[in-house]
Amino acid sequence: MNISARTVTPAKSVTVTAPRTRALGAAAALATVIAVLHTFVQATPTIDALMAGDTPAESQQGLRMMWHGMSAIAWTCPVVLLLLRRMPAAVTRPVLGFVALLNGSQALFYAAAGLAVLWADGASGPLSLPQWALHAPVAALAWLARPSRPAQQSARPARRRRGHLVLPWFTAIFATVMAAFHFVQGTFMSWPAEVLASNTTSPAKPALYVMWLFSCVVFTSVPVAVVWSLRAPAAAGRFVVRYAAVLVAALMVSWCIEVTFVSGDDLQPSGWPVLGVLAALTALSAPPRSRSNT
């Protein structure tokens, strides 16, 4: 028997089946567990191991800042999943796909890092980085919780004048340059490369490297979200683009706190303003709300 619950929203109704509701709730619960573990259980031993190693001071401070920024990002996942319980299908479907992509990439990174640890020094490997076993079901549940594709007429792309396309395309180009710089220069010639060459103990070392790889996914998601929103349903485009802006803003706030209130003397003070500009441009690039009441 097909059991469903109907939630009525302004100007449209959304049907959410019970299995999808349960999958969404389970994903939110697991995402909360991940956020708690990352913030309150793993942070202290990982950061202590990082600061006790011989990694250069700038890399230590930068990776510590990134860890706290990723803790903030981890908390956005259960919040978004709970918000989606009352969203229309045109919004819920792509946002859940985005959440599945973020968690799926982390699961793959943690599993690959665990296998690398197993191959390198014979440690417990995947069991030393158990986060993959949490991110993977969150990704699967988020994907399964996606509603059916909405009717074409209820998911119209936002109409923008040519002049209104300048900011989104400028933001997409700017974000692409930043993502490429973050991945190429940052990964191979900066903080993660230096922590790999250090005597930082495992599992802190591979966990920090996985964290950096996931930050590359976050930066890459910004231009992809902005360009996708140009052809996506307006409400979905707004949600995804603004969520991408929130992810960047979390890193910006973490960098600002590290430089201002913690021992971040070796970090470049220009880092957080650049992230702030990217977050602001991304948020402003979201599709406008329709003035129609229908």
Residue 126 is predicted with a pLDDT of 52
In the predicted model, what is the mean pLDDT of residues 192-212? 92
Residue 7's φ and ψ, nearest 5 degrees, are -110, 125
Which residue in 214, 37, 201, 182 sits closest to 110, CA to CA?
A: 214
Does position 38 have pLDDT exceeding 80, yes or no? Answer: yes
**Contacts of residue 25, Cβ cutoff 8 Å, sequence gap at least 6:** none
Burial degree of 260 (CB within 10 A; 0-12, 13-18, 19+): exposed
In the predicted model, what is the mean pLDDT of residues 151-173? 74
Instruction: Please tell me whether the peptide bond between 203 and the residue prior to it is cis, using omega within 30 degrees of 0.
Output: yes
User: For the chain, what is the radius of gyration of the CA atoms?
Assistant: 20
Read off the tokens for 221.
Answer: 């998601």
Lowest-pLDDT choice from 16-20, 40-44, 211-215, 277-281:
16-20
**Is 80 in contact with 246 (CB distance < 8 Å)?**
no
Confidence bin at 157 (pLDDT 50/70/90): low
Whole-model pTM: value is 0.88
Read off the tokens for 228.
Answer: 């996708």
Q: Which amino acid is at 113?
A: A
Query: What is the maximum span of the chain, computed from C-alpha positions, in angstroms?
Result: 63
**Is 212 in contact with 192 (CB distance < 8 Å)?**
yes
The helix or strand, by DSSP H or E, that contains position 165, with its residue range, turns out to be none
Confidence bin at 154 (pLDDT 50/70/90): low
Place of tokens 């097909």: 2
In the predicted model, what is the mean pLDDT of residues 206-218? 95
Residue 264 is predicted with a pLDDT of 72
Read off the tokens for 60.
Answer: 């230590």
Read off the tokens for 105.
Answer: 């990439």
* Average pLDDT score, the chain: 87
Residue 155 is predicted with a pLDDT of 55
Lowest-pLDDT choice from 174-183, 192-201, 255-264:
255-264
In the predicted model, what is the mean pLDDT of residues 197-225? 94
Does position 4 have pLDDT exceeding 70, yes or no? Answer: no
Confidence bin at 122 (pLDDT 50/70/90): low
Does position 269 have pLDDT exceeding 70, yes or no? Answer: yes
